[in-house]
Structure 1
Amino acid sequence: MKKFHIISAVLIILFFATNAIAGQSATKDECVVKCHEAAALINSKGLEKAVKVIGDPEGPFVWKDSYVFMMNLDGKMLAHPIKPELTKQEHLFLMTDPTDKALFVHFVNLARKVGHGWVEYMWPKPGKNTPWKKLTYIYRVPNQDIFVGAGVYVGGMMY
């Protein structure tokens, strides 16, 4: 009987540990909601305030293993809470992922032509260097030449 209690306790611990780890991954629905919230912030508070809030690594647009970033249609990163160095470049059109996909070109084209949608590419998880498959939701801010994006990591490492 004692073995049964030990096995039961171990299984319960594993169940909760697995659920806690799974709870740390952002969902596609959360990405869509956060992007719409960021767009509302941009339209209500203005670009300058939005850059500060979206670019804040401790702010409301960083959660679990995801975050919102903001770009303009000229390929300039305006706010990025995890890689703020991206905001220092004039544009990001020449940057590619490890598969040579020009992800920022895809982001801008999607924002210009459709206004919203998903882009698949490779990108490291926050705090890591190894690229993972990522799906990012792009949402063009209504009445602006600006879009926001947030993504989920899927599958495993590719390299």
Structure 2
Amino acid sequence: YAKKSPFDIRHVTPTIMLGADKDSAAHDSGKQLVWMKADGVADVPQVMHRAMLALGCDQVMMEPVLRRAGLSISTPGISYASIDHSMWWYRDVDINQWHLYVQDTPTAAHGRGLGVAKVYTQDGELVAAMAQEAMIRVPQQ
């Protein structure tokens, strides 16, 4: 987030970029809502709209996993990585329009977490679903 993103990202659930969210119900549930679209106009083929949606999703997919673990991206010494990331497509995508990412983390424990999400159009149509398993490491204090 220190550099300009190719996406306009708006968190409905407060972001955890600068610190852990230990006091909210979102922390306990691992849920997160994010609106996203291209920052500018993407006049590209459908395959690129899907690729851009995948890239945008990957920018926020770890947040609910870290939230569920009581951590943030700015936790000192934290390292995390995607172990795998799968997506399923149900409709064409127009990345120039707003999409709602409804994210959840069923579990985050013992250095691993599972993030799942559904992506909806502004009209409420399901466009895609995804799952990502993450590895999280925090140095011992």
Q: Same fold by TM (over 0.5)?
A: no
Q: Which structure has the bigger radius of gyration?
A: 1
Query: Larger strand proportion, structure 1 or 2?
Result: 2
Give the helix-richer structure, 1 or 2: 1
TM-score normalized by structure 2? 0.28
